[in-house]
Structure 1
């Protein structure tokens, strides 16, 4: 029985998934830093790629992005989606795989979630409970 069937959840990513995800992330960050993606919206924003997650078969890569100041993230996502074919071709040359992964771009909400948790921990009600101990 596989691990995911025993626990009911999904299995953690394999070392290969993590390694290929990092290679894709580095190549995409390099493309963005060098301005090799010719799009006015992408050129007008500072874009960070904190994480790339790959499917177990390495055919689908979910790329999480953050824009500086969280400005126009939806427009940046659409621009990246428009340039997906070029980006995929560049990544295919950099990553030695049988098939280049299909890319899908998503907004990274990790930082927002961390801020929300910090705000909850700093709230007076939680402070009251912590100060009792």
Structure 2
């Protein structure tokens, strides 16, 4: 069985484990001992502060993105009521339908254009509707 030796930090000579002074150069061997547990902080405070600052910046950025997405959705989406055609609006308001004699000579043109954009996982869309009427009397 091989005997375990302590290596001198200055000259690299092998010394007995219980020795306090190197047999070759006379250097103090206690300096090469590992530090006792709890002798110093495992993680420097500067690194902890940097990690906390990075985490706080990430949370602030994520919150900003969520608020911006919510704001863009409100701006891009028309209200549900404006999306309904004129007939449905009349039904919801419970207005009577126009009489037959009022409808004679009336020309209505209804058009709709819908657009959608997808960018970086976000979806933006909108609708443009128009109603053109001409009455002949």
Q: Which has the larger radius of gyration?
A: 2
TM-score (norm 2): 0.21
Higher helix share: 1
Q: Taking CA–CA contacts closer than 8 Å with sequence separation of 6 or more, which of the two structures ends up with the larger relative contact order?
A: 1
TM-score (norm 1): 0.21
